[in-house]
Structure 1
Amino acid sequence: MGHETMHPRFEQDNPAPIIGKRYKLINQLGMGGFGQSFLAQDLHLPGFPRCVVKRLLAKTNDPRHLKTARRLFDTEARVLYQLGKHDQIPTLYAHFEENQEFYLVQEFIEGEPLTWKVIKGKKWPEGKVIALLHDILEILAFVHQQNVIHRDIKPANLIRRHRDGKLVLIDFGAVKQVTIPIGDPDSEIAESTISVGTQGYISNEQLAGRPRFCSDVYAVGMVGIQALTGVRPKRLDENAVTGELDWRIHAPDVSPEFAEVLDRMILYDFRDRYPTAVEALESLQKLPPRLLEVLQASKVDPASMEEVGTTDSETDSTQKDSGSTYASSGLVPTFHQEETLMYGETLPTTSSVKQPQDWHQRWVEMRSHLWKRWQRKSVKQWSMLGAGVAIASTALSLVLVRLNSHQTPTSTPPSSPGTSIQSVTPPQIPASPKPTPRSLAQRVANLKAEADRLRKQRQYQQALDRYDQLIKLKSNDAQAHWGRCESLNGLKRPDQAMVACNDALALNPDYAEALWSKGKVLRQQDRILEALRLFEEATILKPDFTDAWLSRGSSLQEVGRSAEAIDALDQAIALNRNLAEAWSIRGSALWNLGRFDQAVASLDKALQIQPNAPGASALRRQAREELGY
């Protein structure tokens, strides 16, 4: 029996697999040279908490090699257990063997991978990059002090944890403990533990199978350069004279001191790099104070490291991936010295208030802003929201009273003899007539119907305007935020679409359509594997979601997983047999697998439905040539 048949499978008609008699697999998170990882639930604990189950590939059925694999597995588990004592490394819960397969169970980190923030074409400010490298190197210094090399540091393996905003280093499936030999060098097991790493972040000596501590330092340096320049590592050219990576041309404004640190981290010759993360961290901490200001700020608010990234020419606040840190944090609106709101909104101080009317108007505007902002950012905290706004209202009212009691003589009418001076009461602003619940509901329904109609007719800008009006009337309407995301997708504005999708998901985390739309945003940003995970999740949440199955199948085909692509496309076709795109992509997948007869039949069906189906005619002709007719 090959490993392919032993993989836990997620079939629509079959129950989810249970591993180790307690871990129920929910869906696959990823696959690599070392095996698979799955999101799972621990059925033995109250509430069935989530965890990550990793299945390791032994690549052998030979008893002697299995014995070696078992020994290495136990050694790696001990290493992971030791590393998991660090707060920013996932905890190892269990390790076991089942049916000659090896499994690790680790803590599930709820957060966002750095790939969501390090985006092609977007440059981070230098100070933010310094703070990021500092965070990574602090964790890595601990790893190296345990005599362990990670060997696969990259944005996807760095998670910004929701609960506290801290960075977490994950995926230690490729760890190598330096002092322990890895067995028979001629065995398949030894071979499988050598070629590890990701193109662009892997150093020359690691590529040759000789990783060192400074190989991890190289990878960290490449992550920093990617954030600083907005250029993917494999897109960087070498200097024709020195042979080193010529990254500075993409960051002409970088300070010389920081540039020297980065240069040393990524030197081609490992002997010239920082030996370990400890030395790299020390060098970073010796940068001039002006470059370390953001580093100090990030220690106060680690989550602020998320909101970075500018285009080459401008900063667009709508491009922030308004995801999940505040939505998941459980915070309530608070005040600092009665005058400063969350999110950086600052109220006027006493000296800046010229007229009571100005202050009152400012308070009205800020209260409205606070309500809308908090409603969008933390919809899960409804029970706390009322109390938070009440506290905010009370605090600001006290400030108002304080200000009124300290008015200057010029702003207070003169008093007549024998009368006491009264505080100036802000004039009441007449409330505009409020629509009745029935009329408001009807207006919301009409706007939603019109916006949906325009979106389906691909009149995206008009649809976007209607969704914006709808959100002003009903800001907690997840469907309106999703429609806004879809319209922005149609307008090819992925950064703003990402914000809208995240707003919809903050209101409804299990919104399959919003997950699908967010996946389409990620595809526009060439983040295909992240998109694929969202498409998979959408089909699990909504098995009859035709578009999600189609997107899942096309993404699988794009990454070369043709057999899985055919399964997904078959699901889409079963739901709608007139999907020319599904038949066409299916034909391409069949052709890749050498099943030319079936490929021709599938392509014929695509052309029957849509005579000008993109690429179908050329591919059918190519398949027919393979068959000799």
Structure 2
Amino acid sequence: MNLAVGQIIGGRYKISRQLGQGGFGTTFVSQDQHLPGDRYCVVKQLKPQGDDPFTLQTARRLFDTEAKILHKLGTHDQIPQLFAYFEENQEFYLVQELIEGHDLSKELIPGKPLTQLRTISLLREILEILEYVHQQHVIHRDINPRNLIRRKQDGKLVLIDFGAVKQVSTQILNGKQTSFTVAIGTPGYRPSEQANGNPRLSSDIYAVGMVGISALTGLLPHELPADGDTGEIIWRDRATVTDEFAKVLDKMIRYDFRERYPSASSALQALNDIGKTSSATVALPSVSSPNRSGTKGKFSKSILYKSLIGIGAIAILSAGTLSILHWRNSSNATDLYHRGETLLELKRYEEALNAYHQAVEIRPDYVDAWQGQGDTLLALNQYQDALNAYDKAIQIQPDYLDAWKGRGKALDQLRRYEEAINAFDAVIKIQAKDFEAWENIGTIEIKMQQYSAAIASFDKA
């Protein structure tokens, strides 16, 4: 059955818009009519492969089993909750928590590689969620950037769209039951054993490793060559990476699943151990002693001549003092800004905020440091202070795209919705094809109960 906008299913879920469609079913944003307020959720419509009684009975049993697994997994803060599941007109429905935010593909931009530090932080985020999944003896089977959502509320990653829901374990062929497993997953992130229908916990580790390599190289998986003899991915020459981290990634994406980390816990441990086994030693250059064996200075040179040289040198030094101080201040501010960026990536927010604050004290017009300060305050849920920082950045540079985005997010959290929309409108004026801005506008319009406007905004995204 094809669902239409406005249609109610399960006696309570009103379809608002379609999110996506694939070979396993269709996903919708819906409104729960039985709860007060504007509670929106995701409804997944799953269609069995056949409509004969035996196939429906088998699908019903599998659906019930997988729904119970999702319900258990949904107790984790970074996995969507399962609110309900039901059958209607021989089709099956899952009702899950709607996660507002953007998927990871918006952060992994082709041609723009991430730093090693940021990539490690990203993989740690993913593996910490996956560790819980693997502890429940569940294989996700479809880890890729589009199934990782950066939650707008707190900036945390949320793992969605478990492949187990898509699994079909039996099919009726020529009147007989034939067991098989559908090759679930996204090409490039799906290892060979999973493509052959035999997924394992380490299949998820392969996918996470490919996310990391894509982040480091700025390349999509299909753009990376493979060794014709071993099947191993060739990527090291396309990234700036230490040997220690590269070895961890290589082990994550081994062609033979037996050579990979067996689960998320072991991969996470290897990641956390990076840098612990070695210490850097900086060799300082030796300083030669001054030459004390030289001859005494001769008095044949005029003392007056030497005095004049000394006076001239003092004048030159005095004239250059302001320039030197300005250079030092500029250098110090830049160092503090980069320190703030690193601390922000590590989620050490208070330390990051202090670094950014020192940077703008040295250089009050340092627009990037004001932006960093805003981002940090936003992460700390200090929305009014974040707004003030973004406004300062915009005052210095009126076309600063990220500052306008940050301003819109801060205003949204402050529930100043009209002003938030105006901020995202400013983003669109600067960059017309900024789809994230349209998504944010649509989300805010839903909060304002302007549903027709929201649908129009989402259509532009």
Give the alignment partner of residue 484 of structure 1, picking from 420, 426, 430.
430
Rounded to whole Å, the distance in 2 between the matches of 1:165 and 1:142 is 19
CA contact (8 A) 1:130 1:295 kept: no
Rounded to whole Å, the distance in 2 between the matches of 1:249 and 1:33 is 37
Identify the residue that residue 284 of structure 1 maps to in structure 2. 271
Give the residue type in structure 1 aligned to 2:136.
Q
Dislocated runs of 4+, deviation >4 Å:
183-193, 293-297, 323-330, 364-377, 381-385, 475-481, 501-512
Identify the residue that residue 456 of structure 2 maps to in structure 1. 541
Query: Deviation per CA, 1:225-261, whole angstroms, max 9, x where unpaired?
Result: 111101000111013454311011211x200010000
CA contact (8 A) 1:88 1:169 kept: yes
Rounded to whole Å, the distance in 2 between the matches of 1:502 and 1:129 is 22
Change in Cα spacing, 1:9 to 1:189, as seen in structure 2 (3 Å) is farther
Residue 192 of structure 1: how far off its partner (Å): 8.0
Q: CA RMSD in A?
A: 4.4
SS at match of 1:221: helix
Alignment of 1:499-510 (within 5 A): none
Change in Cα spacing, 1:301 to 1:136, as seen in structure 2 (3 Å) is farther
Give the alignment partner of residue 190 of structure 2, picking from 202, 207, 210.
202
Give the residue type in structure 2 aligned to 1:378.
A
Identify the residue that residue 253 of structure 2 maps to in structure 1. 266
Alignment of 1:33-44 (within 5 A): 33-44=23-34
Residue 277 of structure 1: how far off its partner (Å): 1.1
Rounded to whole Å, the distance in 2 between the matches of 1:366 and 1:191 is 61
Identify the residue that residue 560 of structure 1 maps to in structure 2. none
Rounded to whole Å, the distance in 2 between the matches of 1:505 and 1:328 is 20
CA contact (8 A) 2:127 2:265 kept: yes
Q: How many residues align?
A: 368
Give the alignment partner of residue 19 of structure 1, picking from 2, 9, 15.
9
- Is residue 98 of structure 2 the alignment partner of residue 79 of structure 1? no
Rounded to whole Å, the distance in 2 between the matches of 1:174 and 1:191 is 16
- Is residue 204 of structure 2 the alignment partner of residue 216 of structure 1? yes
Alignment of 1:22-61 (within 5 A): 22-61=12-51
Rounded to whole Å, the distance in 1 between the matches of 2:45 and 2:262 is 32
Change in Cα spacing, 1:145 to 1:46, as seen in structure 2 (3 Å) is same
Identify the residue that residue 283 of structure 2 maps to in structure 1. none
Change in Cα spacing, 1:259 to 1:366, as seen in structure 2 (3 Å) is closer
Change in Cα spacing, 1:9 to 1:333, as seen in structure 2 (3 Å) is closer
CA contact (8 A) 1:510 1:541 kept: no
Give the alignment partner of residue 298 of structure 1, picking from 315, 323, 346.
346
Rounded to whole Å, the distance in 2 between the matches of 1:108 and 1:194 is 27
Rounded to whole Å, the distance in 2 between the matches of 1:540 and 1:296 is 34
Residue 276 of structure 1: how far off its partner (Å): 1.1
Identify the residue that residue 8 of structure 1 maps to in structure 2. 3
Residue 295 of structure 1: how far off its partner (Å): 8.6
Rounded to whole Å, the distance in 2 between the matches of 1:8 and 1:142 is 34
Unaligned runs of 5+ in 2: 279-338, 353-366, 447-451
Change in Cα spacing, 1:47 to 1:235, as seen in structure 2 (3 Å) is same
Residue 262 of structure 1: how far off its partner (Å): 0.4
- Is residue 262 of structure 2 the alignment partner of residue 275 of structure 1? yes
Identify the residue that residue 236 of structure 2 maps to in structure 1. 248
SS at match of 1:149: coil
Change in Cα spacing, 1:284 to 1:97, as seen in structure 2 (3 Å) is same
Residue 342 of structure 1: how far off its partner (Å): 7.8
CA contact (8 A) 1:265 1:273 kept: yes
SS at match of 1:160: strand
Give the residue type in structure 2 aligned to 1:228.
L
- Is residue 429 of structure 2 the alignment partner of residue 378 of structure 1? no
Change in Cα spacing, 1:232 to 1:69, as seen in structure 2 (3 Å) is same
CA contact (8 A) 1:111 1:161 kept: yes
CA contact (8 A) 1:261 1:284 kept: yes
Residue 123 of structure 1: how far off its partner (Å): 0.3
CA contact (8 A) 1:202 1:215 kept: yes
CA contact (8 A) 1:150 1:176 kept: no
Query: Deviation per CA, 1:54-96, whole angstroms, max 9, x where unpaired?
Result: 1112111110111111100100011001100111100000000
Give the residue type in structure 2 aligned to 1:204.
S
Residue 481 of structure 1: how far off its partner (Å): 4.2
Residue 163 of structure 1: how far off its partner (Å): 1.1
Identify the residue that residue 383 of structure 2 maps to in structure 1. 332
Residue 282 of structure 1: how far off its partner (Å): 1.1
Give the residue type in structure 2 aligned to 1:100.
Q
Query: Deviation per CA, 1:190-240, whole angstroms, max 9, x where unpaired?
Result: 778512111110000000011111111000000111111010001110134
Rounded to whole Å, the distance in 1 between the matches of 2:92 and 2:219 is 38
Instruction: Using the aligned pairs only, state the percent identity.
Output: 46
Change in Cα spacing, 1:52 to 1:330, as seen in structure 2 (3 Å) is same
CA contact (8 A) 2:102 2:436 kept: no
Rounded to whole Å, the distance in 1 between the matches of 2:445 and 2:38 is 22
TM-score, reference length from structure 1: 0.51
Change in Cα spacing, 1:204 to 1:384, as seen in structure 2 (3 Å) is closer
Rounded to whole Å, the distance in 1 between the matches of 2:423 and 2:69 is 48
SS at match of 2:154: coil
Alignment of 1:35-434 (within 5 A): 35-174=25-164, 182-183=169-170, 193-240=181-228, 242-251=230-239, 253-289=240-276, 298-301=346-349, 331-334=382-385, 375=407, 377-380=409-412
Residue 125 of structure 1: how far off its partner (Å): 0.6
Change in Cα spacing, 1:509 to 1:142, as seen in structure 2 (3 Å) is closer
Change in Cα spacing, 1:542 to 1:83, as seen in structure 2 (3 Å) is closer
Residue 21 of structure 1: how far off its partner (Å): 0.8
Query: Deviation per CA, 1:532-584, whole angstroms, max 9, x where unpaired?
Result: xxxxx9894279x9xx6xxx9xxxxxxxxxxxxxxxxxxxxxxxxxxxxxxxx
SS at match of 2:270: helix
Change in Cα spacing, 1:511 to 1:200, as seen in structure 2 (3 Å) is same
Give the residue type in structure 2 aligned to 1:51.
C
Rounded to whole Å, the distance in 2 between the matches of 1:130 and 1:327 is 22
Give the residue type in structure 2 aligned to 1:332.
Y
SS at match of 1:378: helix
SS at match of 1:171: coil
CA contact (8 A) 2:443 2:454 kept: no
Residue 328 of structure 1: how far off its partner (Å): 10
TM-score, reference length from structure 2: 0.68
Query: Deviation per CA, 1:166-195, whole angstroms, max 9, x where unpaired?
Result: 111001143599xxx945686999778512
Unaligned runs of 5+ in 1: 1-5, 11-15, 305-315, 336-340, 346-363, 386-474, 490-497, 513-536, 553-629
Identify the residue that residue 561 of structure 1 maps to in structure 2. none
Rounded to whole Å, the distance in 2 between the matches of 1:366 and 1:483 is 17
Rounded to whole Å, the distance in 2 between the matches of 1:75 and 1:365 is 54
Rounded to whole Å, the distance in 2 between the matches of 1:95 and 1:256 is 47
Give the residue type in structure 1 aligned to 2:201.
F
Identify the residue that residue 603 of structure 1 maps to in structure 2. none
CA contact (8 A) 1:162 1:328 kept: no
SS at match of 1:112: strand
Rounded to whole Å, the distance in 2 between the matches of 1:481 and 1:176 is 38
Residue 28 of structure 1: how far off its partner (Å): 1.1
Identify the residue that residue 3 of structure 1 maps to in structure 2. none
Change in Cα spacing, 1:173 to 1:18, as seen in structure 2 (3 Å) is farther
Rounded to whole Å, the distance in 2 between the matches of 1:118 and 1:85 is 28
